[in-house]
Amino acid sequence: MTPLRQRMIDDMKLRNFAPRTIEVYVSRVATFARYFGRSPEVLGRDEVRAYLLHLVHDQHVCWSTFNQTVAGLRFLYEVTLGREGVLVHIACPKQPKKLPVVLSLEEVARLFAAIVGLKHRAILMTAYAAGLRISEVVALRVDDIDSGRMVLRTRQAKGRRDRYVMLSPRLLTLLREYWKAARPTEWLFPGDIPGRPVTAGTVHRVCVQAARDAGLGKHVTVHTLRHSFATHLLEAGTDIRTIQVLLGHRNLKTTAVYTHVSPLAVETTRSPLDRIGPLPGEPHP
């Protein structure tokens, strides 16, 4: 590891950045350095601009990757290197708003039925039953299950916040069956490396394969299960503020996207016009 990379990592740790954020920023900066074959210390505004144009015009990266690169380079130059103005007038563009992919209850059942192995089924059913991110489900520990209060604890999730989510009785039964078979001690879902949890990559591959085996004609990831969890709660009449808390969203606007995903929520919402009394000469519906 180069001294500059270590300094950047240390600077982010001092600011309590999430491990995933540190990993992404360092990766984006490393890719930038490899493109020019030189240390970022000897590169400047012209090289940054040329590289960002390369990402857009040649690599056709998504706006999320572009924004991560800008954020990583801005931190490197302005914080670690103390060089103001390298990224002046370079903004992070707004990403196009797309509605998330959501599975129906029948499709969720087909997905779970296609999963081979008790451990993998337990992982994906936990993600759906509690609406967890992939990073949250792989980081669960055995003592995060509170069967007395029927809640699951997620530690230091996105935004470095702990939160509690519901523990489904059906999920608890499955997790008890899994625990009897696997006997995990620290991590609820241990990986192949001793003392480490299962990787997000492994869980992602399991989910994609299960969707393929189930014959689902949709792009399905673990995050699709989280979107489906929120949408199904909304369709069941759960208050959107409650859904916001369960998902760990800071802003209610983030949660409100599910009102656009669920046609049932639209169909069952009564227009205020229908609450106005009949007008003179108006035909009865």
Query: What is the pLDDT at residue 26?
Result: 96
141, 158, 164, 204: the catalytic one is 158
pLDDT in tens, 57-85: 999 998 889 999 999 999 999 999 999 88
223 catalytically annotated: yes
Task: Answer yes or no: do 191 and 115 share one domain.
Answer: yes
Residues 47 and 120 in one domain: no
Among 28, 133, 163, 232, which one carries the catalytic annotation?
133
Give yes or no: residues 246 and 141 share one domain. Answer: yes
pLDDT band for position 260 (50/70/90)? low
Choose the weakest-confidence range: 71-80, 151-160, 214-223, 270-279: 270-279
Question: Cα separation of 271 and 70, whole Å?
Answer: 44
Q: 69 near 92, Cβ under 8 Å? A: no
Is 25 in the same domain as 144?
Answer: no
Supply the CATH number for residue 117's domain: 1.10.443.10
Query: Where is pLDDT greater, at 282 or 125?
Result: 125
Identify the band that residue 285 occupies on the pLDDT scale cut at 50, 70 and 90. Answer: low
Rounded distance between C-alpha atoms, residue 218 and residue 230, angstroms: 18
- Known active-site residue 158: yes
Interval 274-285 mean pLDDT: 62
Residue 89 lies in a domain: no
Residue type, 22: I
Q: Tens digits of per-residue pLDDT, 229-243?
A: 888 888 888 888 888
The verdict on 112 and 43 lying in the same domain is: no
Give me the CATH number covering residue 67. Answer: 1.10.150.130
Inside any domain, residue 147: yes
User: Does the residue 96 lie in any domain?
Assistant: no
- Helix crossing, 118-130 with 169-182: angle to 10°? 150
Beta strand residue intervals within 116-218, DSSP E: 145-146, 151-157, 161-166
Catalytic-role residue among 28, 120, 226, 232: 226
Q: Among candidates 152, 161, 155, which has minimal Cα distance to 229?
A: 152
| pLDDT tens figures, 172-193 | 999 999 999 999 999 999 999 9
pTM of the model: 0.70
98 domain-assigned? no
Rounded distance, CA 146 to CA 138, Å?
A: 17
**Domain count across the chain:** 2
Buried b (16+ CB within 10 A) or exposed e, 86-100: bbeeeeeeeeeeeee
Q: Give me the pLDDT at residue 283, please.
A: 64
User: Can you give the residue range of the structural domain that contains 167?
Assistant: 105-267
Answer yes or no: 226 catalytic: yes
